[in-house]
Structure 1
Amino acid sequence: MKVTVRYFARYRSLVGKGEEEVELPEGATVMDLIEKIKEMHPVLRNEVFAEDDDLADVNVSRNGRYVRFDETLREGDVVAIFPPVSGG
């Protein structure tokens, strides 16, 4: 199945693009997608995911709603990857 991944803020700069399609097996989860993205873009593994399974610095939404990392993706989903937002 294919999902569209949109990168925002720092992630967009690191990856060098704002959006791409990613091919995943049926039944893949958000975490599976994160692992695939880390394979495709080692800079994310080095800069964002410095420690294994360190997901504290990433937010993920699917079709405009925040999701857990264990949620199953579906064909055509649009997944946004962005850093935590803070205000002041």
Structure 2
Amino acid sequence: MKVTVRYFARYRSLVGKGEEEVELPEGATVRDLIEKLKELHPVLKNEVFAEDDDLADVNVSRNGRYVRFDEILKDGDIVALFPPVSGG
């Protein structure tokens, strides 16, 4: 199956593009997608998602709705990655 990944803010700068299509096996989860993205873009592994615990440092939406990392993806989904927002 194919999903479209959209990168925002720091992720867009690190990856060097705003969007790409990624091929995944049927039944893949958001966590599986992130593992695939770390393979495709080692800078994400080194700078953003170094350990599984660091997955909490990324906000993920699927088709416009925030999701958990165990959410199962479907062909044609649009997944967006956002860095955590902070302020004060």
Shared fold, TM over 0.5: yes
Aligned-pair CA distance for 1:22: 0.2
Opposite residue 17 of structure 2, the aligned amino acid is: K
Distance 2:42 2:12 in 1: 14
Alignment-mate amino acid for residue 76 of structure 1 = G
Q: Distance in 2 between matches of 1:62 and 1:56?
A: 16
User: Partner residue of 1:84?
Assistant: 84
Q: Counterpart of 1:20?
A: 20
The equivalences for 1:65-80 within 5 A come to 65-80=65-80
The structure 1 segments of at least 4 consecutive aligned residues displaced by more than 4 Å after TM superposition are none
Deviation of 1:62 after TM superposition, in Å, equals: 0.2
Cα distance in 2, alignment partners of residues 84 and 62 from structure 1: 16
Structure having the higher helix fraction is: 2
Q: How many residues align?
A: 87
Instruction: Please give the TM-score of this superposition, normalised by the length of structure 1.
Output: 0.95
State the Cα distance separating 1:29 from its structure 2 match: 0.4
Partner-residue secondary structure (3-state), 2:70: coil
Q: CA deviation at 1:56?
A: 2.2
Structure 2 spans left out of the alignment, 5+ residues: none
TM-score by structure 2 length? 0.95
Q: Unpaired segments of 5 or more residues in structure 1?
A: none
RMSD over aligned CA atoms reads 0.8
SS of the residue 1:84 aligns to: coil
Query: Where do residues 1-80 of structure 1 align in structure 2 (5 Å cutoff)?
Result: 1-50=1-50, 52-53=51-52, 54-80=54-80
